């Protein structure tokens, strides 16, 4: 396979912008890891006109895909978890080319999972968790139980990923297998939701009660990244926060996260007068009694 594909990647490997080339082969009849193609080639480059370029090939009744991705796009996938198979490709793919041990250093970074990256990823997952939980609870209170079920399953996934990240691991596609060994309590909640013989509304009712406790216990951990940023100045306007180079990664959930933290008395609102009578700007401050991690 490697020899057949050599003409496809060899020229690109010689380009000074190319950092690494990885090959991932199909391992089973159904292989979402390679989009059911026989092989995928991943080429990591410093810069490119497009952050991602994909081309498909066919040879000897086999199918292959070439993925050319920039370092910036790769790092965004790793940080946001928007392309979960990419970590599996990097850790388990066959290395065909590695300039100046680029992949060796990247794999070491994935294994060590620097604390700063971990805190940011936890906040991203926590923001998604809070949004899904709030939306699920609203559907439950409106007796839309199937919609509530859908949102609470997603909330559990975000909670599971948060637990895995907190232990210093990157969440894999088989995240529930990881959680089973890392945090059995969360795994048990998931089983009770999907496997319990109780009626759906009863399962959801019990799960929301458990979730209230779990979210409360994870709030300081989940919000530590945002709380640390809030501590950097006395008052933040929402527009300032959303433009912060790190907060922007969970900007879509920032509003609901702030309201949640206000309810939990970790953040307070500062009203600032405007020219309009009785209308105030809303500023956000960290409560003085709150310690940041």
Residue 101's CATH number: 3.30.460.10
- Range name among 65-74, 207-216, 228-237 with the lowest pLDDT average: 207-216
What is the DSSP pairing of strand 39-45 with strand 62-70?
A: parallel
**Is residue 2 pLDDT above 70, yes or no?**
no
Write down the pLDDT at residue 241.
Answer: 96
**Among residues 187, 220, 253, which one ends one of the domains?**
220
Q: In this structure, are 172 and 125 located in the same domain?
A: yes
Q: How many helices (H) and strands (E) does the chain have?
A: 12, 8
Write down the pLDDT at residue 291.
Answer: 73
**Among residues 152, 187, 220, which one ends one of the domains?**
220
Q: What is the mean pLDDT of the chain?
A: 91
**Tell me: the pLDDT tens digits for 63-99?**
999 999 999 999 999 988 888 889 989 999 999 999 9
265 within domain boundaries: no
Q: How far apart are CA 85 and CA 89, in angstroms?
A: 6
CB 131 within 8 A of CB 149: no
**Tell me: the pLDDT tens digits for 107-118?**
999 999 999 999
Residue 110: strand, helix, or coil: helix
- List of residues 6+ apart from 158 with CB closer than 8 A: 125, 126, 128, 129, 132
- Domain span holding position 168: 113-220
3-state helix, strand, coil in the chain (%, to 5): 55, 20, 25
292 within domain boundaries: no
Domain count, the chain: 2
Write down the pLDDT at residue 293.
Answer: 59
CATH number of the domain encompassing residue 193? 1.20.120.330
**Tell me: the pLDDT tens digits for 21-38?**
999 998 887 778 888 899
Write down the pLDDT at residue 30.
Answer: 76
Q: Is the pTM for the entire model greater than 0.75?
A: yes
Q: Which residue has the higher pLDDT, 31 or 210?
A: 210
Q: Which two tokens stand for residue 157?
A: 């996934």
Residue 13 burial class via C-beta count within 10 angstroms: exposed 0-12, middle 13-18, buried 19 and up:
middle
- Name the DSSP letter for residue 52: E
Residue 35: strand, helix, or coil: coil
**Among residues 220, 242, 268, which one ends one of the domains?**
220
Instruction: Identify the H or E element spanning 22.
Output: strand 18-25
Q: How far apart are CA 284 and CA 289, in angstroms?
A: 15
160 within domain boundaries: yes
Q: In this structure, are 205 and 141 located in the same domain?
A: yes
């Amino acid at each position: 396979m490697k020899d057949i594909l050599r003409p496809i990647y060899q020229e690109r490997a010689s380009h000074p912008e190319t950092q690494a080339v990885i090959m991932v082969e199909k391992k089973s009849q159904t292989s979402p890891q390679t989009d059911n193609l026989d092989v995928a080639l991943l080429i990591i480059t410093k810069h490119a006109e497009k952050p991602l370029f994909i081309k498909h090939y066919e040879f000897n009744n086999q199918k292959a895909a070439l993925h050319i991705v920039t370092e910036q796009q790769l790092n965004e996938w790793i940080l946001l978890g928007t392309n979960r198979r990419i970590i599996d490709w990097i850790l388990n793919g066959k290395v065909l080319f590695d300039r100046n041990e680029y992949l060796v250093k990247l794999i070491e970074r994935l294994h060590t999972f620097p604390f700063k990256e971990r805190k940011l990823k936890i906040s991203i997952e926590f923001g998604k968790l809070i949004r899904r939980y709030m939306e699920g609870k609203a559907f439950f209170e409106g007796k839309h139980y199937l919609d509530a079920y859908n949102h609470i399953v997603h909330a559990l996934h975000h909670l599971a990923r948060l637990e895995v990240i907190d232990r210093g691991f990157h969440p894999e596609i088989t995240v529930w297998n990881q959680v089973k060994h890392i945090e059995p309590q969360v795994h048990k909640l998931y089983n009770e939701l999907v496997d319990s013989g109780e009626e759906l509304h009863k399962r959801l009712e019990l799960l929301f009660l458990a979730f209230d406790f779990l979210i409360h216990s994870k709030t300081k951990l989940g919000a530590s990244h945002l709380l640390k940023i809030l501590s950097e100045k006395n008052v933040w306007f929402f527009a300032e926060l959303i433009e912060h180079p790190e907060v922007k990664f969970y900007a879509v959930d920032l509003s609901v996260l702030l309201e949640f933290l206000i309810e939990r008395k970790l953040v307070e609102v500062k009203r600032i007068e405007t020219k309009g009578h009785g209308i105030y700007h809303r500023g956000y401050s960290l409560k003085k009694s709150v310690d940041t991690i």
